[in-house]
Structure 1
Amino acid sequence: MSNPESFIDEVTEEVRRDRMFGYFRRYGWIAVLAVLLIVGGAAFNEWQKAQTRAASQAFGDALLAALEEGPDAEARRKALAAVPAEGAPRAALRELMLASDPAGDPAGALAALDRIAADPALAPSYRDLAVLRRAIVGGTTIPLAERRTALDAIAAPGRPYRTLALEQLALLDLEAGETAKAIQTLRSLAQDQEATPGLRRRAEQMITALGGETPAG
């Protein structure tokens, strides 16, 4: 009896396998399509996030460049007004940045920057820009420890204005009389591949002015 039973089991298993392969040939494309859609959707979401971050940072850089246009307040306002601002959040940020020019109203400028930094509707890159700008605009009117705490937060890895915040932290070291620490920060900044060529050049010039040796020196 064992041989017939074994034969029946083998036949049953073969039939089951044939059915499975038949189902796979008939419906397997659905599973493959589902996997492709999941993987493709995840890749598209990551690409979209990267594009959004890059666009936000480019907009912030353009605003910062306009704010550094020069000592002439009118020239700065014109440069800010010329920055393209797509969407309501960017337009609102540009208007707040226009209001944050310290010329004539330093207190009003700091208040405008505080509003930007605290606005949850704005992208983190915009809020970081406001924090950076506030530390620059406020200068010594803001306690050094308060400025350091704010800049430390946006100098963390992955933050869009990390290298600019590091430059400001080096200036705070100088303000505190910690020249050696400032040179160390500037030296690392001069070698930082995320820093722009202009920023690396400024770091090297400051190191030389402080009597230190540049990384290449």
Structure 2
Amino acid sequence: MSNPDSFIDEVSEELRRDRLFRVFRKYGWIGVVLIIGIVVGTGVVQWRNAQAEARAEAFGDAVLEAYDLGNAADRRAALAAISADGDQAHLLALIEAADPAEDKAATLAALDRMISDASLAPAYRDLAVLRRVLVAGGDMPVAERRASLEPLAEPLRPYSALAREQLAYLMVEEGKAPEAIAALQALIQEQGVSRALQSRAAQMITVLGGTPEAPPVAETATPTAEIDDGFED
């Protein structure tokens, strides 16, 4: 390469460096701001996580301390005094409704508060309705229990299978054994139903004089050795 060409290349390189330096002086502060933003954002996230962890630990400690108290009345008073919101408030409401043997009326009242809480997530309300039917038992008329359970039994509801199980038990209570056996058998055959529910349904079918059918065999994945991976030996 001739000297003039080398000189031109050197000048061009110098111009590029000068242009890059001017650009950096003009826009370099943006990168600095971005770095500061990332550092501050990371710090805020870590602080929030630490606060949430400390809050969860305090909530758990308060619940455990409440359950260490001697009687149901003191436990309920201690649980009611715990500060909670969001998911913790929902969990606390379920805890308050978890001991019907000690105080059935208070348990039903706690469940009624959950059911009437419009801010509660639908899954929590469904669980409260199901729990209330179970706790109330025979004290609640069959027609009212059915009216409470039928919406929960609709497809895609989170506790659909459990609600249909309870509806089958209502049929037993009404003396409709054949209908109950058919409903329970349908649950056994349904994909995705837990083994515990299938076992309960089978036992009830046997008690009613029926013969439970075996649940469907779950599909298994194709063995690895049978998969054509496209590679030759």
Partner of 1:167: 165
Deviations 1:98-157 (A, max 9, x none): 221212221111111111112121110100000000000000111110000100010000
SS at match of 2:209: coil
**In structure 1, how many angstroms separate the alpha carbons of the residues matched to 2:133 and 2:208?**
22
Partner of 2:185: 187
Aligned pair count reads 135
Contact 1:163 1:194 in 2 (8 A): no
Alignment match of 2:204 (pick from 185, 203, 206): 206
Contact 1:167 1:203 in 2 (8 A): yes
Q: How does 1:1-217 map to 2 (within 5 A)?
A: 88-100=85-97, 101-216=99-214
Partner of 1:32: none
**In structure 2, how many angstroms separate the alpha carbons of the residues matched to 1:171 and 1:123?**
27
> Which has the larger displacement, 182-191 or 201-210?
201-210
**Identical pairs, percent:** 48
**In structure 2, how many angstroms separate the alpha carbons of the residues matched to 1:144 and 1:197?**
27
TM-score between both structures, scaled by the size of structure 1: 0.58
Deviation of the 1:190 alpha carbon: 0.5
**In structure 1, how many angstroms separate the alpha carbons of the residues matched to 2:139 and 2:125?**
21
SS at match of 1:214: coil
Q: Point out which structure has higher relative CO (alpha carbons under 8 A, 6+ apart).
A: 1
Partner of 2:64: none
**In structure 1, how many angstroms separate the alpha carbons of the residues matched to 2:137 and 2:105?**
12
Unaligned 5+ residue runs, structure 1?
Answer: 1-72, 82-86
Q: If each structure's helix is expressed as a fraction of its own residues, which one has the higher value? A: 1
Deviation of the 1:93 alpha carbon: 1.6
Deviation of the 1:186 alpha carbon: 0.4
Aligned-pair Cα RMSD in Å: 2.2
Unaligned 5+ residue runs, structure 2?
Answer: 1-70, 216-233
**In structure 2, how many angstroms separate the alpha carbons of the residues matched to 1:175 and 1:186?**
14
Matched residue type, 1:198? A
Matched residue type, 2:87? R
